[in-house]
Amino acid sequence: MDLNARRTAIQIIKEGQILLEHGPVTMVLMAYKGEEPLTKLCEEAAAVVESALEEIAASLTYLRLAPGEIPEGVLTGLALKMKEAVSASRDPQLTPMAAVAGAIAQETADWLYEQGASRVIINNGGDIALRLSAGEVARLGIISDLDSGAVDRIMTITAESGIGGIATSGLGGRGFTRGIANALTVFSPDALLADALATQLANQTYVESEKVSTVKAGEIDPFSDIAELDVVVEVGHLSDEELDRSILQLKREAEKHYSNNLLYGVIANIQGKRFSYPEDFAEANNLSERN
């Protein structure tokens, strides 16, 4: 990711909704005040994205390290929030860059909300930040298979749910995964946590099997922040026992994060086997199949 790239393009999708491309970022911004679309405000948010990228670029050397390798006191502001988000996952190998997309989405959403928007949805390549005032509702599409990229479930989110961040990780996604989930989506209080936990929980689905092929991340991308770690590149048809083991590992880890109030729920698809934690999360939040 070239954080120093400088180009900005804005396309109005419809009133209150724009597509923003700036450097390595391609995101959709939506902002409304009640029923009033805030198109101009969305356009002005490009400056927030640029500022966030500059702040991250200034600390990039440290953000590419594991949390335990980062000296105390060298990170501040957004960079420190990224470190705190991945540290909360308790995965010592997860670098703060695992929360970069969520961090930019959250900074943008916070700014739009502070400017008076009552409903904000920022989609930064699948990492979503939400800001909803009392009584506001958002309907979002969920992808159960990242390789297909097709939205097949719709979720209705209310302001009262407390959900502020949604992120999806898995095979076929933008980044590397160390797990075997086709898609895993996390719902958290904020986008930084959601981004970090989606990566960490997706990694927990890994099972050793002759059907699972891995390579060093550096063999695919020499500049990766996890170049020395194994990532999954292909998964064949797994046995029921292997899939059950994967889901059990995921459940155990999800329970820990849920009990620590780091996430409100997680849903996953592993070769057609659906997982939801808590078990009633999908039903309680009107997560339904798309017609």
At 225 the pLDDT is 87
Per-residue pLDDT of 130-144, as tens digits, reads 999 999 999 999 888
Instruction: Flag whether pLDDT at 48 surpasses 90.
Output: yes
At 291 the pLDDT is 45
Lowest mean pLDDT among 95-104, 165-174, 197-206, 240-249: 165-174
> How far does Cα 110 stand from its chain's mean position?
16
Could you state, in order of their start, the residue ranges of all structural domains in the chain? 8-289
What does residue 125 show for φ and ψ, rounded to 5 degrees? 60, 35
Rounded percentage of the chain residues whose pLDDT exceeds 90: 80
8-289: CATH class: alpha beta
What residues pair up with 216 in beta bridges, in sequence order? Answer: 230
> What is the DSSP pairing of strand 36-37 with strand 25-33?
antiparallel
Secondary structure letter of residue 16 according to DSSP = T
Q: How many CA atoms lie within 13 A of 35 on its CB side?
A: 0
Decide which of 230 and 4 is more confident: 230
> How far does Cα 225 stand from its chain's mean position?
17
Whether the full predicted model's pTM is greater than 0.85, yes or no, is yes
- Taking Cα atoms as reference points, which of 183, 246, 184, 185 lies closest to residue 212? 246
| Averaged confidence pLDDT in the chain | 92
